[in-house]
Amino acid sequence: MDEIVGAVPVSNSATLCIGGISSAEAERAREAGHDLDGMGYYLFLASQDDPEKPIEVLAKFWSASAAERLARMIAAGS
C-alpha cells in the first residue's frame, strides 16, 4: 500500500483504509476485472490475517481533500 490517509478495523481480520494503492495492487485489481489506474486515493478493505491477499477496492475519491474529509469523519465516529 502507498500513503494511508486513514484506517479503521471493521473486524478482527479486515481494515477499512483510505489512501493510495501501489502499482502492484492496481495491476492485481485490473487482472480481476476492475478498471483502476492506481492514481489518487481509494477506499478499500485490507486483510490483517493475510497481508498477501489482494485488497478489495470499494471506491475512488475525486480529490485528496474528499479522502481526507471521509477519514476525519470515520476517525470522529470511532
In three-state form (DSSP H/G/I as H, E/B as E, the rest C), the secondary structure along the chain is CCCEEEEEECCCCEEEEEECCCHHHHHHHHHCCCCCCCCCCEEEEEECCCCCCCCEEEEECCCHHHHHHHHHHHHHHC
pLDDT of residue 31: 86
Specify the pTM: 0.83
pLDDT in tens, the chain (78 residues): 467 788 888 888 999 999 998 888 888 888 888 888 888 899 999 998 888 888 899 999 989 899 999 988 888 876
